[in-house]
Amino acid sequence: IYASEGEDFADKAREEAIKLQVEMEQILSTANII
């Protein structure tokens, strides 16, 4: 996940990955997959 070109790129990528994970969990839960 490319989120920043600064030195904080790892933190920004982590934040975006967590957002994506939460979003996917909500979608899967809504679809009764998990």
In this predicted structure, what is the pLDDT of residue 28? 94
Domain membership of residue 18 as a residue range: 1-34
The total of structural domains in the chain comes to 1
Question: What is the pLDDT, as a whole number, of residue 4?
Answer: 74
Question: Residues 14, 2: contact at Cβ < 8 Å?
Answer: no
Q: What pLDDT does residue 5 have?
A: 83
What does the chain come to in residues?
34
Q: Tens place of pLDDT for every residue, the chain, 34 residues?
A: 667 788 888 899 999 999 999 999 999 999 988 7
Q: What pLDDT, on the 0 to 100 scale, is given for residue 1? A: 67
Whole-angstrom CA distances from 27 to 3, 17, 19, 32, 34 are 23, 15, 12, 9, 9
3-state secondary structure string, 22-34? Answer: HHHHHHHHHCCCC
pLDDT of residue 25: 96
pLDDT at residue number 17: 95
For residue 19, give both structure tokens.
């957002």
